[in-house]
Amino acid sequence: MSNPLPDGITDDELADSLRAIGRGSPLVQHLTNEVTMNDVANLTLHWDALPVMADSPGDAGEMAAGAAAILLNTGQVPEGKVEAMHEAAETAAERDIPVVLDPVGVGATPTREAVAEALLEDVDFSIIKGNYGEISALAGVEAEVKGVESVGEYDEIEDAARSLAASTGATVVASGVEDVVATGDGAVRLSAGHERLSEVVGTGCMLGATLAAFRGAVDDAPTAAVHGALAFGIAGERAAEMPHEGPASFRTNFHDAVAGFDPETATELDLEERLERVD
C-alpha cells in the first residue's frame, strides 16, 4: 500500500525535493519509445537526475541494478523491449527499486492492453502515470483513446484513479487539464500547467520521466508524485511566459524552464491554492 497523500504543499517542501534530486543525482533508467527518447533524456538531466536508456534484453536487467528509479513507457512495444521491461522490473523487485509505469496508448489496441495487463500482473509499481483515457482504461472504466491521445469527457476521473490505485497499491497520476494524483484512500487535484504543453509531442512522456526522477530521490511515492507533477506544470507556465513564436520555441523554453527550476525558484512560489483534496 502507498502512503497517504499530503494535505497540502509548501514552497519549502518542493524545494526540499529538488535539493534531494540535486544531492543524489539519481540514475533513472528509461525503457521508452524512440519518438520522445531525446526529450526524455534531456529533461531528466535538466531535473539534475542522470538518464540512461538501457532497453534491450540482458542489458536492461543488468543496468537496473544500479538505478535509483526505472521508467517503463509503452509508447512502442516490440517483443524485445517488452522482454527487457520485465527483466528490469525483476531486478527492481529484488533490490527494492521503485518502478514507474507510463502506459502510453493503452485502450487504443488489444496489443497495448495485453502488454499493460501483463506488466500490472508481474510488477508492483510505485507510480502509474497516464492521461485521463489511459488511466480510465486501466481502471476498467469506459475510455476513448485515439492513438496515444485521450479524447472525450472524464467527469469521474478521480474515482477511476483512486480505483486503480487501490487495486495496484501504486500512486496514480492522471494527467489532463488538471492533474489528479490518487492513492486508494483519496485524491487531490493540482492546478498547474499551460495549454501549450498539449501542442508539443512528448510532454506526457516527459512528465513520466519527471515523476521517475523525483521518485528516485524522494522516498515517499505520493509526495514524489505531487511534487513532480506540480513542478512540471509550473515549468510549463514559466515557459509560456518566455518569448516564443509557437510550439517549437515553446518546447525549447520548456527545457530551459525545467533547467532553471532550482530550489531557490521553488521558494518564491505561492503553492497554497495549487492543491485541492477531492475525496
DSSP assigned state of 202:
T
Which grid cell sits at 159?
474515482
For CA atoms 13, 125, 39, 217, give the dihedral sign.
positive
Determine whether the annotation assigns residue 242 to a binding site. Answer: no
C-beta separation of 275 from 8 below 8 A: yes
Name 109's Cβ contacts closer than 8 Å, sequence gap at least 6. none
Angle between helices 247-259 and 221-241 (to 10 degrees): 130
Determine whether the annotation assigns residue 202 to a binding site. Answer: yes
Question: In this structure, what are the phi and psi dihedrals at residue 153, rounded to the nearest 5 degrees?
Answer: -105, 140
User: Cα 122 vs. chain centroid, distance in angstroms?
Assistant: 20
Determine whether the annotation assigns residue 17 to a binding site. Answer: no
Distance CA 146, CA 130 (A): 14
Which grid cell sits at 175?
494527467
Determine whether the annotation assigns residue 53 to a binding site. Answer: yes
| Residue ranges at the known binding site | 53, 129, 175, 202
Binding-site annotation: residue ranges for substrate:
53, 202
Annotation: binding site for ATP = 129, 175
